[in-house]
Each structure stands twice: as structure tokens, then as C-alpha cells.
Amino acid sequence: MRVNLTGMRVRVLALLLVLSAAGCGQHTRSQSRAAAAPRPRTTPAAVPAAHCADGDLRRIGSARIAYAGSARHGAVAFRTPAGAELARFGSTNVNDYPTVFGVVGVVVRADCTPSWYRVQLPVKPNGVLGYVRAGSLQLQRVGARIVVDISDRQLTVYDHGKVTLTATVAVGSSATPTPTGRYYVNQRLIPDNTSGPFGPGAIGISAYSNVLTGWTQGGPIAIHGTDEPGSIGHAVSNGCIRLPNATLRKVFTVAFAGTPVIIKA
């Protein structure tokens, strides 16, 4: 089938997603497909301000609203604006999901229009920030935010700063802990077998396991369902965050690409 993703036509292909090699669980292959990304709600053309100096870096986003940047034609990330190259990204990632970044800042021109965006990158090591030319990204507003408390084994969903859902989760074991930090949703995948080890869906985030360095795709972390409901509330996973399947479905409906995910100890 064909779906409209942030203004461009993209074919959603069936793909082999090795979630077992993504820090998530059993050593099996799971047939999965990419889920649709939302249309952008707005694309800020300028930073509201009385005055801007060329090259100013402004923070954007808050506890109520975040920004995601869709790279319709791919993008190049730099350490500093026009500095050393950090990484290159195609229009889609290895799982055929449209490339998206969490946008945390903007470098403006004297007329307050953006020249560069400061973005979170889905690369190792965790927490890397880079700069992407403003013309490479299409921005959209994101009202949801997810916070995971590892100690309490609790996930909380916020909508424009208000709590809309709380749930008990399973987290990484002591040998394969869930990495802490500030991340974002960078892909949404639906297994063909929705009764399997990942339940009805997997919400991929821009985090990687710090210990499963030899796994396929580098050991990316996801929030997903489970076929082991008895594991919920325990520290048993390979780093991923497990939810009861019914709860995962609810979170999946609001955790669009670019949604901030904060994981704290």
C-alpha cells in the first residue's frame, strides 16, 4: 500500500526487522512493516523575536511542545554549522522508515529565519547532537512526551504537559540495562505476528544498548508489547521497555515520530 508521510509519497514495504538483535529479546527474526508517520502540523518559518543576530542559537521546544524534523530527501549532520561532518542520512532508515530527527534548537539569520537546526541524532554514542541545514528538514509540532522511570518501572505519557497515561513496564536486566538519557521516537514498526515477542507494535527510539555492541543494527532500543505478560514490572529485558499489549496499543496511537522519550534512573 502507499501512504502519505509528511507530504511525500512513500511505499511501505514489508521488512525483516531483527528486534532480537536490537536489544529486545529472543533470537528470532520478526517480519514487520513500518507504520505511518503523521502529517506535519506546522513548519515554523521564523523564530518569534524582536531582534535576531546572525548565527544566534535559540532553543526551541518545551515540556508542552516538541519539534520533529523530517528529512524528505535525506540530510547531512555536522558537528557545528558548516563544520566537520558527523553522519549522512538517506530519506529512509534501514527499516524503510522516513528519516526524522528530534529538533532542540535553531540557528537563525539576522531576519530570524532558520539557517540550521540543532538535532538529536539516532547514532552511537547515545545523546549525540548535530546540526542540519534548515532547508533539509520539514518541521512538525509534537504534543506528546514519554517519560520512563527505570527504578519505579513506570512509563508516563504526557499530552501538552498533562498526564494522559501511566503504566508499569519491564526494563533491562542488570546485565543488559535500559540506557538512560533524552531520546526521541525515530520509527514505528508493526510485526506481522502481533501475538509474538514484540506484541502489536514496536516504538523505536534513538537510543542504543551500551553493552550489546555486537548486535545487528548496533542494538537499538524500543518500547514494545510482549508475549510474556508476567515479565511486566521486572528488570528482565535486553534493554527494551515492555508494555502489556493493550497498553502498547494506546501508546502507539500517540507516540508519533519525533516524540521525546526521557529515560531516567
CB 239 within 8 A of CB 209: yes
**Which CA distances in Å does 16 have to 95, 173, 191?**
8, 26, 9
Q: Quick one: 214 exposed, middle or buried, by C-beta within 10 A (0-12, 13-18, 19+)?
A: exposed
Q: What is the CA radius of gyration of the chain?
A: 18
Chain mean position to CA 186: 3
Using CA atoms, how far apart are residues 231 and 254, in angstroms rounded to an integer? 24
Beta-carbon contacts of residue 204 (< 8 Å; ≥ 6 apart): 22, 95, 97, 185, 186, 187, 188, 189, 220, 221, 222
Catalytic residue among 27, 51, 224, 234: 224
Annotated active-site residue 224? The verdict is yes
Annotated active-site residue 240? The verdict is yes
Cβ neighbour number for residue 197 with a 10 Å cutoff = 19
At which residue does the C-alpha cell 537499538 appear? Answer: 220
Catalytic residue among 27, 52, 234, 240: 240
Active site residues: 224, 240
